[in-house]
Structure 1
Amino acid sequence: MNSISRFFWFCSGAHISTLEKHPTEHNKYLGIGATIFFTGLFAALSGGYAMYFVFKGDAAAVLFAVFFGLIWGLAIFNMDRYIVASINKSASTNKQILQATPRILLAIMIGLVISRPLELKIFDKEIKERLKVSYLNNQRSKIDTLNASFGNKYKIEIGKLNEAKAERDSLSNAIKEDRQKLNFEIFGNKTLETSGVMGYGPYAKRKEAELKQREQNLDTLTADVRALEKFVDGRKQFDGLMTEKLYTGKQLDSLSNIAGFADRNWALGQLSFNTDGTRDVNTSLAVTFIGLLFIFFECLPVFVKLMSDRGPYDHSIKNLEAVQVYASDRDKDYEIAVMDGIQETRIETEIERRKRQLLHPSQEE
């Protein structure tokens, strides 16, 4: 437990030899250090997953993920450690808040960066479903755009084809009607346009000759329609319309599985909205709360350091820093004094007096 405590003290950025002299401060800095450590751990997991996703399918994907995860986690850990350690508890409350403000903003940014890859993993199933809908809509829109462009490009040819089809269909229907009237005439069915006398008479022969001529015309018109259709289909094949089809379920699954980071990130943002454009409150709150949780977790060490009272450890650190500043000034004063020819014993006496006055001002008085 002593080793674990010292490790977390190191994570908190505390001066361990000084902290050991103040048992009442041990738990506070152990908690701060543990929070910083686990923030770095989450950052490593987040960065590792993001890198694994980028190189997914590559043989070295796991190696890249582990390497980048360690680098990213250590970077975030070091940054958090610096943020907490740089808050000076000896300063006034307003000054501490002023010192912490840019660090809190930086912590918020770090929290957002850490939370995004983990949110992508948490909502993986919902993201894939939203991507499938998006890909299907995009493919449908692409096909509609190609068809509209093709229609504008070959407007004359398509117009001729449609006219020929309409004329063919009209002629085919008319031939069917005339064929039925001819049958009525031959078999003696009485109508407004038939005589009602059974037999193959002059009227029937004339109607049959007309039908044969019209059937020849229909054959010629059908051949023209086929030629136009062949031309239009050839143009569609050349322009790529014949190869563009709506995705099948299997194709959509494959596309969603290999979707890139940008597509998945976009889909995560779209989860807050339904397909009809209305806001999905439940999903939006879930995504928001997860992001806020990581932001709060990242800012927690700073808040703990700000909210905690100035303890004996902080006073000891202040005195230690004062001694170090004094030692630096002493070396400088000693050099100046030697240059001025002042005796070494007088210099040492004056230095010791100033040291006692700095560390124990009440005794000196």
Structure 2
Amino acid sequence: MLKQFFIVCSGSDTQILENCSVGEQNKYAGIGATVFFTALMAFIAASYALYTVFDNLYTAIFFGLIWGLLIFNLDRFIVSTIKKTGNVIDELIQASPRILLAIIIAVVIAKPLELKIFEKEINQVLLEQKNNLTLANKNQIANQFNPSIENLYKEITALQQQIEVKEAEVNALYDTYIAEAEGTAGTKLLGKGPVYKEKREKHDALLAELQQLKIENKAKITSAEAQIAALKGDYEVQVVNTQPIINNFDGLMARVNALDKLPWLPSFFIFLLFLAIETSPILAKLLSPKSSYDFKLEDQETAIKTNVLQNKHQREAMLKADYAINDRIYTDIENEDELYNYKRKKARELMQLQADAFYKHQKNAF
């Protein structure tokens, strides 16, 4: 039962193989088994690749099954259409486009399986890429908020400097009127005279301005600090909102690109393995000598071709004979007076009818 199934998978003529040796049947069963297991590997590879895309097991299995059946049909077609002619060059020319197609299929099958085989290494590469993307993302978002935050910090610094300058002026006036009272500067008269009072009034007025400036600037600083906190909060929110996009950076294309960053030699050997599997049925047919199955298949096809050519030639001969007979018949009829007089009579009647119709038409026109 299993042997018959693999023979069907090989695309060979089962009726012809039934009359061949057991060894011949086993050969085509082996070719069919290779076709079947290649399609099975294609199903597994496609299911895994599609799972990384859709993230749904049933959807991946469904489309993976369709892809596996497609590969099975292509491989079966490739193997079944290679005919043994006994001429190596003709067979190579015949098989070259099929070998090219087999190479393409091997690449398509091998790549998803490489992604699964090197999954841990690919995850490490993706982790490094995600970390770099996270840092780059934070820097890009920070560039949107940093100018505004820096301007607010500069504004706070300017407000604080205003207070410091005003405090320095107040302290200078304080030292001045104290020195005046002590007699160490100014008029150098000990006691609180008119000059002392004048300087004390200037100090008190400037101190009141300082107190008012502190109140106003403190309110402005508080407002600027609130804006800075709001901007930093917006920055954190935007970082949090964009992080899931980076976390999901593990799709099919990302994994393929990550695989390209790994050493190429292991992937190349895996590709060679699947290339050998995919091309083995073709190579088996090319390298094997022309067997009884090939002779019987050629005999059957030649018989059909001969029969078609005979039928075609017979129809052409019948048509040619029919043309000759018709020519002879019409040549004999051409000289008969009876047929001539009959056609002459009918032609006369037709011309009379045409003349009457033309006359009637012209009469109705006036």
TM-score, normalising length from structure 2? 0.65
Aligned to 2:265: 285
Structure-2 separation of matches of 1:267 and 1:51: 12
Aligned to 1:95: 90
Aligned to 1:162: 154
State the secondary structure of the residue aligned to 1:101.
helix
For residues 41-56 of structure 1, the aligned pairs below 5 Å read 41-56=40-55
Aligned to 2:76: 81
Deviation at 1:111, TM superposition (A): 1.3
Structure-1 separation of matches of 2:43 and 2:62: 9
Of stretches 320-329 and 117-126 in structure 1, the one that deviates more from structure 2 is 117-126
Deviation at 1:269, TM superposition (A): 2.9
Render the CA deviation track for 1:260-305: whole Å, top value 9, x for unaligned.
6xx34323432443xxxxxx53xx3223322332222112211222
Deviation at 1:259, TM superposition (A): 5.1
For residues 238-257 of structure 1, the aligned pairs below 5 Å read 240-245=234-239
Alpha-carbon distance change, 95 to 158 in structure 1, aligned in 2, over 3 angstroms = same
Q: Rg bigger for which structure?
A: 2
Structure-1 separation of matches of 2:209 and 2:279: 91
Render the CA deviation track for 1:217-264: whole Å, top value 9, x for unaligned.
777655543332333444555xx42313479xxx88x975x556xx34
Contact 2:6 2:36 in 1 (8 A): yes
Aligned to 1:195: none
Alignment-mate amino acid for residue 238 of structure 2: E
Aligned to 1:192: none
Aligned to 1:305: 285
Alignment-mate amino acid for residue 88 of structure 2: T
Structure-2 separation of matches of 1:98 and 1:67: 37
Tell whether 2:309 aligns with 1:329: yes
Structure-1 separation of matches of 2:152 and 2:317: 109
Structure-2 separation of matches of 1:211 and 1:102: 97
Deviation at 1:115, TM superposition (A): 2.0
Tell whether 2:320 aligns with 1:320: no
State the secondary structure of the residue aligned to 1:244.
helix
Deviation at 1:336, TM superposition (A): 4.7
Alignment-mate amino acid for residue 266 of structure 2: A
For residues 42-191 of structure 1, the aligned pairs below 5 Å read 42-57=41-56, 61-62=57-58, 64-90=59-85, 92-152=87-147, 154=148, 158-159=150-151, 161-162=153-154, 164-165=156-157, 168=160
Alpha-carbon distance change, 335 to 151 in structure 1, aligned in 2, over 3 angstroms = same
Structure-2 separation of matches of 1:338 and 1:215: 126
Give RMSD over aligned pairs.
Answer: 4.0
Structure-2 separation of matches of 1:295 and 1:243: 50
Tell whether 2:39 aligns with 1:40: yes
Deviation at 1:131, TM superposition (A): 2.6
Structure-2 separation of matches of 1:121 and 1:215: 72
Structure-1 separation of matches of 2:162 and 2:129: 43
Render the CA deviation track for 1:174-225: whole Å, top value 9, x for unaligned.
x9xxx9xxxxxxxxxxxxxxxxxxxxxxxxxx9xx99999898777655543
Alignment-mate amino acid for residue 314 of structure 1: D
Structure-1 separation of matches of 2:95 and 2:107: 18
Structure-1 separation of matches of 2:11 and 2:162: 90
Contact 1:161 1:225 in 2 (8 A): no
Alignment-mate amino acid for residue 6 of structure 2: F
Deviation at 1:341, TM superposition (A): 7.2
Give the gaps of 5 or more residues in structure 2. Answer: 172-199, 323-366
Of stretches 215-224 and 29-38 in structure 1, the one that deviates more from structure 2 is 215-224
Structure-2 separation of matches of 1:114 and 1:131: 22
Alpha-carbon distance change, 75 to 267 in structure 1, aligned in 2, over 3 angstroms = closer
Aligned to 1:23: 22
Structure-2 separation of matches of 1:215 and 1:268: 67
Deviation at 1:41, TM superposition (A): 1.1
State the secondary structure of the residue aligned to 2:238.
coil
Alignment-mate amino acid for residue 279 of structure 2: C
Percent same amino acid among aligned pairs? Answer: 34
For residues 208-219 of structure 1, the aligned pairs below 5 Å read none
Contact 1:39 1:297 in 2 (8 A): yes
Alignment-mate amino acid for residue 42 of structure 1: M
State the secondary structure of the residue aligned to 1:309.
coil
Aligned to 2:7: 9
TM-score, normalising length from structure 1? 0.65
Structure-1 separation of matches of 2:257 and 2:109: 16
Deviation at 1:98, TM superposition (A): 1.5
Of stretches 318-327 and 222-231 in structure 1, the one that deviates more from structure 2 is 222-231
Deviation at 1:37, TM superposition (A): 0.9
**Count of residues in Structure 1 that have an aligned counterpart in Structure 2:** 291
